[in-house]
Structures are given as structure tokens and as C-alpha cells.
């Protein structure tokens, strides 16, 4: 049985003061702090890259758990903004940077905010199908590379970050059930154009508040669970206002669903693992994760603690 053994993340040292950005965009500071919920945004510095920050996340992981690099058989990287335009696939560059063995599968996944929930399922399924025991799932999506500096809708929202999840045959958490959905016809709500990233805030908001709670409820029902049976709900940290209302509409008690994006902003596929890294210290018995965004794509999974024998 495979599952999550440990998680680590890395926030680049570059910082953007979101309140100063608010002034620049002539937006109320209180609105930015209370509604968007982001005070500062981590940003790639010139020397940062998807590979370098992923390596930094891996170095953090090595402080938490003992990793024998010669045992790593699989590396999956989730990003939509890879180094070198994605050629070569950045997981291969990571493979080189981490000096991993040749007998190691490496591939990238191009998903946004649903990417972590998808990626976890993909890496576990791939490893199980191929008899592998140790693997790494990275997320790193520096949206700062595609932001239009004059677009306040996105500039005030997105932060850069990286994470790595150690998937192994001695897991702390195993997948119980997952649901995946796509509404490709709505993909124009969040897309890259010649001007950079463009977001239709209303369309994304409606999607998050109407479709995500339904999937959360469907996932719980398929596992024959209720909200009461789940100790922790980790929802993609899009923006404070959107999260508060998505949580409310899903019928989740606020105290079970942390909102923590003041110092990170929306870090795309890294937002859930950043939360998970902290929350694993509390050893929740059952965790529901839900990622949603670009695509439109959304995915919800329930993970259960593996009781030691």
C-alpha cells in the first residue's frame, strides 16, 4: 500500500507587499487584507527557477524524513509554468539536480489549482501499477512569470511556491476515495493570452461556490461519510472571500477548514501541500482535500491516517 509519508514546501525569499500593490491599483487596503486575504506575496527572485525551488523544497523534506535517493523510483512534477518552456520536462532536470538513479520514471503534469489532488492520485496509481515503492510528487507553478503587471485581479492574488510530497510504501496517509471533474467549456474564465494571465473573477467565483461544494458532498457520500467524520478540510487557497463562502456552502464548520494565505497568496497547485505540511503535525485522522481552478478543473480526495501495526 502506497500513500503520503511526508510533505515539505519552500517559499522563495522575494516578497511583494500587497498593500503597496493595493495603493498602486487604487484599491482599498482593507479590501485586500480582509476580502482577498493576502498581505504579502512570495515571488521568484531572478536566480529562482522551478527546479531550484523544488530542490529547496526537497532539502526541507530531507530534514523531516530520512530519504535514500537511490530508492526513488518515480518523480512527478506538476506545473504549468516550467523552466525552459517545459522542454526538457522539468522533472528530468530535477532528476539531474537531485542526482537520482537512472531507474527512475520522471514526467510532468500540466494542471493548475486541482493539480495536487490529481498529482497524488496519478503518482500513486502509476507507482502501484509498476511495482514502485518510493516516489516524489513536486508542485511548483510560478504564475508571476505570466502575470500582466497592470492587471490587479491577478497581481494581488498569486504567489510563487514549491512543494514536495514523499509517497512511499510506509505511508502516514492513504487514499480512501477521490472525484475528478472538468468543465472545459468554461476554461476561458482563467487563461493565458498574449497579455498574460487573464481571469474572469465572477466566473471563477461562481464555479468555486456552486460546483466545488457539490463535489465535496458527492465525495463524502461516496465514501459513506459525513462532514462530522472528517477532521480536516484542506481547500485550495484561492482568496479569503471565495474560500469562506465555499466552505460555508459545503456545510463545513469553519474551524475544520483553515484559511491561511496571508503570507502566501494563491500558490496554485502548492496551496494544499503547504497547508498539509503544517497540519500533519496534528495527525488528523481523516483529511479531505479539494483543489479547483484553471480548466475549469476540480478534484476532491479523502485521505485516511494509516494506523501503525
Partner 1 sequence: MNREEAVKIVMSMLEKNVEGLEMSEDKMGKTLVDLGVDSLDVMLVIMDVGEAAGVAISDDEAEGLDTPEKIVEFILEDE
Residue 203 binds partner 1 (CB under 8 A): yes
Residue 31 binds partner 1 (CB under 8 A): yes
Q: Residue 63 in contact with residue 9, Cβ under 8 Å? A: no
Residue 25 binds partner 1 (CB under 8 A): no
Residue 199 binds partner 1 (CB under 8 A): no
Nearer to partner 1, 174 or 217 (CB): 217
Q: How far is the CB of 191 from partner 1 (least distance, A)?
A: 15
Selected from 14, 25, 29, 35, the binder of partner 1 by CB under 8 A is 35
Selected from 241, 256, 259, 306, the binder of partner 1 by CB under 8 A is 241
Residue 217 binds partner 1 (CB under 8 A): no
Cα–Cα distances in Å, from 154 out to 142, 197, 201, 235, 254? Answer: 13, 7, 9, 19, 26
Residue 202 binds partner 1 (CB under 8 A): yes
Span near partner 1 by CB under 8 A; candidates 89-97, 155-163, 168-176, 204-212: 204-212
Selected from 187, 200, 222, 262, the binder of partner 1 by CB under 8 A is 200
Q: How far is the CB of 189 from partner 1 (least distance, A)?
A: 9
Residue 206 binds partner 1 (CB under 8 A): yes
Selected from 201, 214, 222, 306, the binder of partner 1 by CB under 8 A is 201
Residue 177 binds partner 1 (CB under 8 A): no
Residue 192 binds partner 1 (CB under 8 A): no
Q: How far is the CB of 205 from partner 1 (least distance, A)?
A: 5
Q: At a CB cut-off of 8 Å and minimum separation 6, what does 59 contact?
A: none
Longest CA–CA span in the chain (Å) reads 58
Q: Are strands 173-182 and 14-17 parallel, antiparallel or unpaired?
A: unpaired
Selected from 39, 176, 209, 225, the binder of partner 1 by CB under 8 A is 209
Residues that bind partner 1 (CB under 8 A): 28, 31, 35, 200-203, 205-206, 209-210, 241, 245
Amino acid at each position: 500500500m502506497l500513500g503520503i509519508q511526508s510533505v515539505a514546501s519552500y517559499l522563495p525569499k522575494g516578497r511583494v507587499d500587497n498593500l503597496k500593490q493595493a495603493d498602486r491599483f487604487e484599491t482599498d487596503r482593507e479590501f485586500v487584507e480582509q476580502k482577498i486575504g493576502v498581505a504579502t506575496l512570495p515571488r521568484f527572485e531572478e536566480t529562482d527557477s522551478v527546479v531550484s525551488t523544488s530542490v529547496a523544497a526537497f532539502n526541507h523534506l530531507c530534514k523531516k524524513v530520512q530519504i535514500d535517493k537511490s530508492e526513488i523510483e518515480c518523480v512527478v512534477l506538476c506545473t504549468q509554468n516550467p523552466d525552459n518552456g517545459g522542454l526538457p520536462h522539468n522533472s528530468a532536470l530535477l532528476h539531474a539536480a537531485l542526482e537520482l538513479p537512472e531507474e527512475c520514471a520522471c514526467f510532468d503534469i500540466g494542471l493548475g489549482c486541482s493539480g495536487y489532488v490529481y498529482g497524488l492520485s496519478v503518482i500513486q496509481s502509476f507507482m502501484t501499477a509498476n511495482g514502485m515503492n518510493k516516489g516524489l510528487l513536486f508542485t511548483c507553478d510560478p504564475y508571476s512569470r505570466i502575470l500582466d503587471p497592470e492587471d490587479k485581479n491577478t497581481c494581488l492574488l498569486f504567489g510563487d511556491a514549491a512543494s514536495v510530497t514523499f509517497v512511499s510504501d510506509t505511508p502516514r496517509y492513504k487514499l480512501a476515495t477521490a472525484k475528478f471533474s472538468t468543465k472545459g467549456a468554461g476554461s476561458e474564465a482563467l487563461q493565458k493570452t498574449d497579455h498574460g494571465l487573464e481571469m474572469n473573477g465572477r466566473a471563477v467565483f461562481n464555479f468555486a461556490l456552486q460546483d466545488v461544494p457539490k463535489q465535496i458532498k458527492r465525495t463524502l457520500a461516496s465514501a459513506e461519510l459525513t462532514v462530522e467524520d472528517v477532521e480536516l478540510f484542506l481547500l485550495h487557497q484561492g482568496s479569503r472571500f471565495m474560500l469562506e463562502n465555499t466552505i460555508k456552502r459545503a456545510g463545513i464548520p469553519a474551524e475544520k477548514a483553515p484559511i491561511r494565505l496571508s503570507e502566501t497568496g494563491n500558490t496554485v497547485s502548492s496551496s494544499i501541500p503547504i497547508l498539509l505540511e503544517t497540519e500533519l503535525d496534528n495527525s488528523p485522522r481523516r483529511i479531505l482535500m479539494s483543489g479547483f481552478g484553471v480548466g475549469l478543473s476540480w478534484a476532491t480526495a479523502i485521505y485516511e491516517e494509516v494506523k501503525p501495526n
